[in-house]
Structure 1
Amino acid sequence: MVPIIALVVAVLVAIAVGVALGFVLGEQHRKRTAEAKLGSAEEEAKRIVNDAIKSAEQKRKETIIEAKDEAFKLKSEADKEIKERRAEVTRQERRVDQKEEALDKRTATIERKEEDLKKRTELVEARLDELEQLKLRQTEKLETIAGMSQEDARAVLLQRLDEELTHEKAMRISAYQSNLKDECDNMAREMVSQAIARCAADATSEATVSVVPLPNDEMKGRIIGREGRNIRALETATGCDLIIDDTPEAITLSSFDQTRREVARMALERLIADGRIHPARIEETVDKCRRELELTMKREGEKAVMDLGIHSLHPDLVKLIGRLKFRSSYGQNVLSHSLEVAWLAGLMAGELGVNVAMARRAGLLHDIGKALDHEIEGSHVQIGVDICKKYRENPAIIHAVEAHHGDVEPKTPLAFIIMAADAISASRPGARRENMESYIKRLETLEALCNGFDGVESSYAVQAGREVRILVQPDKIADDQVVLLARSIARKIEDELDYPGQIKVSVIRESRATEYAK
């Protein structure tokens, strides 16, 4: 038993010794292997570093060489450019020198010509003096031979000629004027009477206010809104004044611009029907009504043009004609007035043998300036002329538009026809209306204001107050003071009076000065 145990122990000891010996030998082998690898890595690193140093040195040398080449190239280009600029400067200097030489030569030539001209002028003046002296000597000899002066001889000749022709001229002119006046008056009366009888026109009259009915008085409060915000929004958006008073179930819209008043009326009626009344809704409704009114104006213009049988009118002119539907003058609708003038002008043109289509066209366009006279400075006549010129209307039509109120002298039969038709349409019974008392008061105020100026003898308001003619005392107002007086009167009218359109101020002495109060 003991020998077996000893044998086992011996075996175990041998195994342990073998294991220990193997471990020691393995460690030594691994150490030698690691040292070998480390040495190899160091050599490789040294080799890589040396290669990198050699490569960097080579790159540096190449870069230096390239930089030197680039610097040499730039220096060459700079030298070339400097050489070219020097050559250009040299050429410019040579050119300037040549121009200076040419200028010196030209100056010398001009100076010589001026000297020659001066000598010739002196020679001509001397010759003129000689001729004048010769003429005086001849006149003196003639006066001596005739026994009278030059003025006396002229007076005698003119007196004899006047005595011979005065009686014959007077008789002929008197007979001719009498016959011509009778014939023209009869023809004019007959023609105007026929035109008036054949032209049927409605008696229209419009005011500067519109009344909008309300379903109940409660609606007034809703239109006013909290702290008045709704009514303020309406007035701002439309440009009209809303008058809310004790009138039951009604609101009054006030504005001189009938277009704005119509937009306000349409918008207010829609807001009342809709029931939603607040600033945002008001602005939306007003914009929509304004666009619809533009379409309505276009349709009205197209209808007027179609009724008159006028062709090839510019579309913008048709729109302006439609705008006249919502413009009134002294209570008369301007579109109705223009249509009436067009029909009357056509009838009279047919009697006189003038182009009927052109007469109707001129009658329709004669007040076209009133479509824009609230937006553009100047009289409706001048605005109308500018519009017709812009859209290349016939020169005869432009002249008729310009002359229909006598601003320029009418020179064509068409211009006289338009003047007559306009006067008939404006003056016929029921065409226009104005409170007689306020009308007379306005004219009296205008005349009194003009009479208040020193040197004014009398003043007369004409053309329904659109013009004032002032006669001055010639011993107090000189010709050069007439223009200043007209301007002073116009400025005082602008400052103190309220009036529609403009007033023409004509100051009359031996000459006339005209100024406009706008």
Structure 2
Amino acid sequence: MNFDHILGALLGVVFGILLTWIATKRRSARLEDALRSQFDVEKREARLAQKEERSELELLFKNKELELSHALVAREEELQIRARELERESERQSEQQAQIELKNKELVREQRLLSEAEHEAEKIRRLYRLKLHQITQMERDEARQLLMKSTERECAQEIRDLRQTLLGRAETEVANEAKRVLLAAMQRITSQPMNDATATVVNLPSEEMKGRIIGREGRNIRTFEHATGTTLMIDETPDSVLISCFDPVRREIARIALEALLRDGRIHPSSIEDEVVKAEEEMHANVIDLGEGALRKLRLHDVHPEVVALLGKLHYRLSNNQNTLAHSVEVANLCALIASEIGLDPTIAKRAGLFHDIGKAVDEDYEGSHASVGAEIIKQHGEDARVVNAAAAHHQEVPAESVYAGLVMVADSLSAVRPGARASSIDGFIQRVRSIEDIAAAQAGVSEAYAVQAGREVRVIVEPDVVSDEGARQLARTIRKKIEEQLNYPGTVEITVIREQRYSETAV
């Protein structure tokens, strides 16, 4: 009984252990399955994360590649522009070299002609000696005939010199008139001196703004240039761009619009067009204010609004570095002062002086010189006939019908040629006067030289024992040629050579 009880207990224990082992085995299998499932999930999540990271890297690489491609295209365009500029510069240098070679050939030819002339003079000198020997053995009539022939030959040379001088003077007058016509035409097409007057620099807040101004594939800069009629030059100059245009009004509109875009920060085609429209409205208002300011300064009234706008545009135009609106106001004041002195109507004179250059503010669509176009415009807006004729005749293109035309001519010349009016500085004016005196004093036989009348005349005193009358005339020509070749000056320079010789005796 005890054995059976013990055996049953052992069997129970064994059976319990078996059940426990089976349960433990199943629990281990479930735990292993759970771990395996979790591992598979983590593996799939890691694979998905890797794919996402790879996609982001590929997208970043493509964006970077596109950005570099745009930068490369912009750089290639810039290099092409620089290559064209270098090519044009090379062409200009080639032309200059060709001109130098041509001048060298002319110099060699002139030297050869001079040598031939010296040889011919020696032959003539020998011939004169022979003729002189023959004359001593001639009759009176024969000597008279020979003297007349010799005189004819001498006069023929002087006649040729006189003819050459007169022709040279005529050619100079024609050339000066041609220059005046060309300058007037260029002023009608809004050109100015080619320094920094055809370009405006706009400062940028950062270098990064250059890329935003250019825009994707250059669409922003194309829109800006098309809307303003200017050219944006974006080079390696840090934090700045250059606005280039011959029309100063368009250039000012472009500057106002670009600065507004930079302040706003949003640069795209639609905002560019909006800012250009606003800049044009602001520019129009500014032009009106400038024109009305000039009228207030001169105390003039009853001027048509279109004429006022044209007056304001003159502020943005230069003539030989002289502001055209300031020049017109100065001419108006001079006309009024002179008219008051000689008993004429100062108001009519003032209006004629103010409107004489108004044709320079009109664009090139109008045909004719600035004087005729300006006269036609103020005539259409009801100006006095005397003012219209003064504006049309101030360059002597039409006959002067009243004394006011002569007033405008005189005042225009006074404003243009007074010292410092069209010079960059008083130092430049003084240097030009000194240069005129130095050129004259450097000639052989000159004892003293003085530039007078603000450099418009130079008086040269020569030594009478060294320079003859004919030599004095030739000296004046030489000084004129050297001044024309070496100096730039407004108006004309008159050369006066003074040769004086005195003889005195004292009776005791």
Q: What band does the TM-score fall into relative to the shorter chain?
A: 0.3 to 0.5
Q: What TM-score do you get using the length of structure 2 for normalisation?
A: 0.44
Give the number of the structure whose alpha-carbon radius of gyration is greater: 1
